[in-house]
Amino acid sequence: MMLTVRQALSQSALTPIDAQVLLAHAIGKDRAWLVAHDDESLTPGESDRFFWLARRRRGGEPVAYLTGLREFWGLSLIVSPNVMIPRPETETLVERALARLPLDRASRVLDLGTGCGAIALALAREWRKAEIIATDSSEAALRVARANARRLGVYNIEFVRAEWYDDPALSADREAFDLIVSNPPYIAASDPHLGYGDLRYEPLTALTPGGNGLSALATIVAGAPPRISPGGALIVEHGYDQADAVNALFLAAGFVDVESTRDLAGIPRVIAGRR
C-alpha cells in the first residue's frame, strides 16, 4: 500500500524537522511542498529511499551528511564526512568579521582551517572586494570547499593546503592581512560530548587538537600579530568555557580592544582583537 506524505512522516520515528528534511531530500521537493501536499501519495521507490534515510538517522548519522547539504549564512553548502558540519553559532563570527571590515575597499582576509569553506564563502559573498585565502590541512576538506565555491560562483577565494601558518604564502614577511578569522578545533580531548550526537561522525581532527583544546587557538593567536596590518583584526571562535583563557592569549599577544561576543544561545563564543 502506498503511503501519503503525512503517513510517512508519522511512521519515521524521527523528530518532525529531521523527518521533513529527509523526506524532502528523498523525493526532490522542499519542506513547503510537503506541507502543501501532505495527502499526496509517495511512490514505492520514494518511500524506500525515505525510510532508508530515516533508519540511518535513527542510528545517529547527521542529517547534513545524509542529505549532503547544510545551510549557513543563507548559503546551501555541500558537506561530507570529510568536513565538520557548519553550525549557527559560527554565524556570530561572520557577523563580527563584517563589522570589523572596511567594506568600501579591497582588503586581504585569511581564514584558517576553512573546512567546507563556510566562513570564507559567507565573507566573500557579503564582501565582493575581499581577497581571501582559505587554508586547511586536509586536502579532502579543501576539495569540498572548492566545490562549494564553484557551486556558488565565488571566485575571490584562494584555497591553500596548510597547517595554520605553515605555508610560504602565509609567512610573516609577506603582504599582511586586514583580517584573520578561524573556527579551529577547540574541544578538549576528554570532553564527553565527543561521544554523543553528530560529533561521533565528524572528523576528530576538526573537533579537537587534543589536550585541553587550546593548542590550536594558542598557535593561531601567537602567530597572528606579524601577519596582520596595523589596525587589522583577529577573530576566533572558541569553546563554551574558554573565553577567559582565549582572552588571556589575545592580551599576551599584544592585541587591543579585545572583545567577547555571545552566540544566539547566550554563550561566550567569539573573541576579536585589534593589532
CATH assignment at residue 154: 3.40.50.150
Residue 76 located in a structural domain: no
The answer to whether 112 touches 138, Cβ cutoff 8 Å, is no
Cell numbers given for 162: 596548510
CA atoms within 13 A on the CB side of 185: 26
Cell numbers given for 177: 592581512
Residue 26 located in a structural domain: yes
pLDDT of residue 104: 73
36 and 157 belong to one structural domain: no
Domain hosting 39: range is: 5-59
Q: If you average pLDDT over residues 241-256, what whole number do you get?
A: 98
Mean pLDDT of the residues in the chain: 96
195 and 103 belong to one structural domain: yes
- What is the rounded CA–CA span in Å between residue 223 and residue 211? 20
53 and 126 belong to one structural domain: no
- Going by pLDDT thresholds of 50, 70 and 90, the confidence category of residue 211 is very high
- What is the rounded CA–CA span in Å between residue 136 and residue 161? 5
50 and 91 belong to one structural domain: no
Residue 168 located in a structural domain: yes
Residue 164 located in a structural domain: yes
25 and 95 belong to one structural domain: no
131 and 237 belong to one structural domain: yes
- Going by pLDDT thresholds of 50, 70 and 90, the confidence category of residue 102 is confident
Residue 195 located in a structural domain: yes
Residue 70 located in a structural domain: no
**Could you report the per-residue pLDDT of 16-49, keeping only the tens digit for each?**
999 999 999 999 999 999 999 999 999 999 999 9
Total domains in the chain come to: 2
Cell numbers given for 204: 576528530
- pLDDT for residue 1 is more than 80: no
**Could you report the per-residue pLDDT of 169-202, keeping only the tens digit for each?**
899 999 999 999 999 999 999 999 999 999 999 9
Residue 65 located in a structural domain: no
pLDDT of residue 200: 96
34 and 161 belong to one structural domain: no
42 and 140 belong to one structural domain: no
34 and 149 belong to one structural domain: no
The answer to whether 249 touches 222, Cβ cutoff 8 Å, is yes
pLDDT of residue 100: 86
100 and 136 belong to one structural domain: yes
50 and 148 belong to one structural domain: no
97 and 151 belong to one structural domain: yes
- What is the rounded CA–CA span in Å between residue 23 and residue 30? 9
**Could you report the per-residue pLDDT of 105-146, keeping only the tens digit for each?**
789 999 999 999 999 999 999 988 899 999 999 999 999 999
pTM to 2 decimal places: 0.94
pLDDT of residue 101: 80
- What is the rounded CA–CA span in Å between residue 56 and residue 3? 20
